[in-house]
């Protein structure tokens, strides 16, 4: 194989790689963001409330004096 043939094959593969990358980028750009559903929003709110509740319980538990058994 001549050197120029090898250069041609390398360039051809690079071009194919570039086209694949551009195709992937265009596919990613074409995907529209999906707005979260009502169910998802409710789950997030419930999770936030659980965290707040847990923090309150931990604060309450930390304020209690520890009584040693007699």
DSSP-assigned letters across all residues of 32-48 = PPPPPPHHHHHHHHHHH
Considering only residues 16 and 34, tell me which one the structure prediction assigns the higher pLDDT: 16
pLDDT tens-place string over residues 36-57: 899 999 999 999 999 999 999 8
Residue with tokens 């001549």: 2
Q: What is the pLDDT at residue 60?
A: 79
pLDDT tens-place string over residues 4-19: 888 899 999 999 999 9
Per domain, the residue ranges of the chain are: 1-31, 35-62
- Cα-Cα-Cα-Cα torsion 56, 59, 63, 69, nearest 10 degrees, comes to 90
Q: What is the pLDDT at residue 23?
A: 96
What is this structure's pTM?
0.43
Taking the C-alpha atoms of residue 66 and residue 70, their distance in angstroms, rounded to an integer, is 12
Taking the C-alpha atoms of residue 37 and residue 52, their distance in angstroms, rounded to an integer, is 23
């Amino acid at each position: 194989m001549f050197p120029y043939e090898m250069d041609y094959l390398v360039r051809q593969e690079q071009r194919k790689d570039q086209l694949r990358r551009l195709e992937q980028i265009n596919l990613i750009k074409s995907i529209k963001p999906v707005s979260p559903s009502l169910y998802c929003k409710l789950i997030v709110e419930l999770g936030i409330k659980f965290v707040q509740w847990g923090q309150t319980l931990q604060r309450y538990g930390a304020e209690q004096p520890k009584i040693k058994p007699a």
